[in-house]
Chain A
């Protein structure tokens, strides 16, 4: 049968944003694929060159609207390394708490999108319901539900509000109860299992070579978590387990789903520990206005490895900023995941990768 190209996007329910997945199909089987991105390119790296260091936090927030704090934190960390300042301990712990809250909110948004992709509309409603609780916590902490503008170079914007530990404990306890229900909803759904298991496989060697990182790499059974390997902030003192697929022969949509899903509970554990261990003291160090030199920071974003590379030339604005987006690199590897699968599985595979167009196109 003759092969031909099919455009999935730029407007397609599968894409969760604005990008185009061109797939070449032979009957029902995919023989080739080519992602086409750049629809949302806003020229971040150029805009950041004319703004002062501190003001760029507003921009980095908007890189990915579902995980703003993690991105701003990565930028702040890179600037701190360049300016050679250290964050006071309380600031580091507040960052850990806010990062994990944001990670849960981001993963729940992914779960909410992945459910209806596979015909499980209850997933959307439930995940968004619980995400609202975590957004409330973030709002309590920073004053905004989205685009929080919370991390600062040298620390965080404000201290924890009063009684924040009680609210946190209440919500994480409630959320853990709900996670049991989620587990039954997803893991006992026969359709869900059939549509994810064994679909979109990528081998470990391929994944490393193509630069796949984060939960997508851990789904291949490789135990890498930058919070463990290269601990930043206070993650050294936290006892947690990176969620790695242990069932052997991973790398499929189901393994990716499992890694992300288990991270929800792990993040709850981190928040509970951080609330107990948080010391008193200052939460923000003074940052210089001008800086010279270079600094880079890599952090474990909710989608993979985020890297900021900042160069300063002695002015109050960065000379060059480079953003390494995890989704941008994962997108390069999607043709490998897609090849050989059926047309209907495109949704299942790309949903499990957790695409965020804002950070991909910069």
Chain B
């Protein structure tokens, strides 16, 4: 963590260790490839475990979980993406595992990973038009929470 702070004094808006053997950093999307390259080549985080896209209503976040097999530590990198321009650089040049994770994140959340050679639908049908994990995609919540009283009295 100290080395990260020395190497990138400006990139991290937040850097800390929420639990033992976990490092968490928040960065802007433009520094992503540089930071990840450093993490992989210099600090030995060789395993890209997961890419998650999160919709925070005012911005998107792309969360990367990296893992080092040698030291057993996890690095969690949150990259901030503006809501009106959901684009971020792809990591396929560093990890081939990013191919599928990025396809899935684009499929379900609609974050465009620039540089991914095959950004297609992977879980949903090819002619599907929406990105269902976004918070503005409607979800039938009411139906699951009808209580017996509500049924008897008609909601009163």
State the CA gap A320–B134 with chains docked (Å): 10
Mask: chain B, 36-69; 1 = CB below 8 Å from A; 0 = not: 0000000000111110101100000001010101
**Taking chain A's interface residues, is the majority helix, strand, or loop, or is none over half, making it mixed?**
mixed
Asked if B72 is an interface residue, CB under 8 A from chain A, the answer is yes
Asked if A51 is an interface residue, CB under 8 A from chain B, the answer is yes
Contact A81 B19, CB 8 Å, known A37-B123, A309-B50, A322-B50: yes
For A293, the closest partner residue in chain B by CB is B18
Asked if B1 is an interface residue, CB under 8 A from chain A, the answer is no
Contact present for A305 and B97 (CB under 8 Å):
no
Asked if B144 is an interface residue, CB under 8 A from chain A, the answer is yes
For A40, the closest partner residue in chain B by CB is B123
For B122, the closest partner residue in chain A by CB is A38
Asked if B147 is an interface residue, CB under 8 A from chain A, the answer is no
State the CA gap A230–B132 with chains docked (Å): 34
Contact present for B65 and A307 (CB under 8 Å):
yes
Segment at the B interface, from A110-118, A146-154, A323-331: A323-331
Contact present for A38 and B52 (CB under 8 Å):
no
Asked if A208 is an interface residue, CB under 8 A from chain B, the answer is yes
Asked if A362 is an interface residue, CB under 8 A from chain B, the answer is yes
Q: Which residues in A have their C-beta under 8 angstroms from that of B132?
A: 43, 46
Contact A332 B69, CB 8 Å, known A49-B139, A50-B141, A211-B49: no
Mask: chain A, 326-356; 1 = CB below 8 Å from B; 0 = not: 0011011100000000000000000000000
Contact A211 B63, CB 8 Å, known A46-B139, A329-B97, A329-B100: no
Contact present for B76 and A38 (CB under 8 Å):
no
Asked if A224 is an interface residue, CB under 8 A from chain B, the answer is yes
Contact present for A320 and B141 (CB under 8 Å):
no
Q: Which residues in B have their C-beta under 8 angstroms from that of A361?
A: 123
Chain A: residues with Cβ within 8 Å of the partner, total of 36
Contact present for B97 and A332 (CB under 8 Å):
yes
For A205, the closest partner residue in chain B by CB is B46
Q: Among the listed B63, B74, B100, B133, which residue makes an inter-chain contact with A45, where contact means beta carbons less than 8 Å apart?
A: B133
Q: Which residues in A have their C-beta under 8 angstroms from that of B19?
A: 81
Among B74, B97, B139, which residue has the most Cβ atoms of chain A within 10 A?
Answer: B97
Asked if A296 is an interface residue, CB under 8 A from chain B, the answer is yes
Q: Which residues in A have their C-beta under 8 angstroms from that of B123?
A: 37-38, 41, 361-362
Contact present for A320 and B54 (CB under 8 Å):
yes
Asked if B108 is an interface residue, CB under 8 A from chain A, the answer is yes
Q: Which residues in B have their C-beta under 8 angstroms from that of A1?
A: none
Asked if B99 is an interface residue, CB under 8 A from chain A, the answer is yes
Q: Which residues in B have their C-beta under 8 angstroms from that of A305?
A: 49
Contact present for B54 and A311 (CB under 8 Å):
yes
Chain A 206-230 interface residues, beta-carbon cutoff 8 Å to B? 206, 208-211, 213, 222, 224, 229-230
B interface residues, Cβ below 8 angstroms from A = 19, 21, 46-50, 52, 54-55, 63, 65, 67, 69, 72, 74, 76, 95-97, 99-101, 104, 108, 121-125, 132-133, 137, 139, 141, 144
Q: Identify 17 residue pairs between A and B in the complex whose beta-carbon atoms are under 8 Å apart, listed by A's number.
A: A38-B125, A41-B123, A43-B132, A46-B139, A209-B95, A210-B95, A213-B47, A307-B49, A307-B65, A309-B65, A311-B54, A320-B54, A322-B52, A322-B63, A328-B100, A328-B104, A332-B99
Q: Which 3 A-B pairs have the closest CB atoms?
A: A211-B97, A322-B52, A38-B123
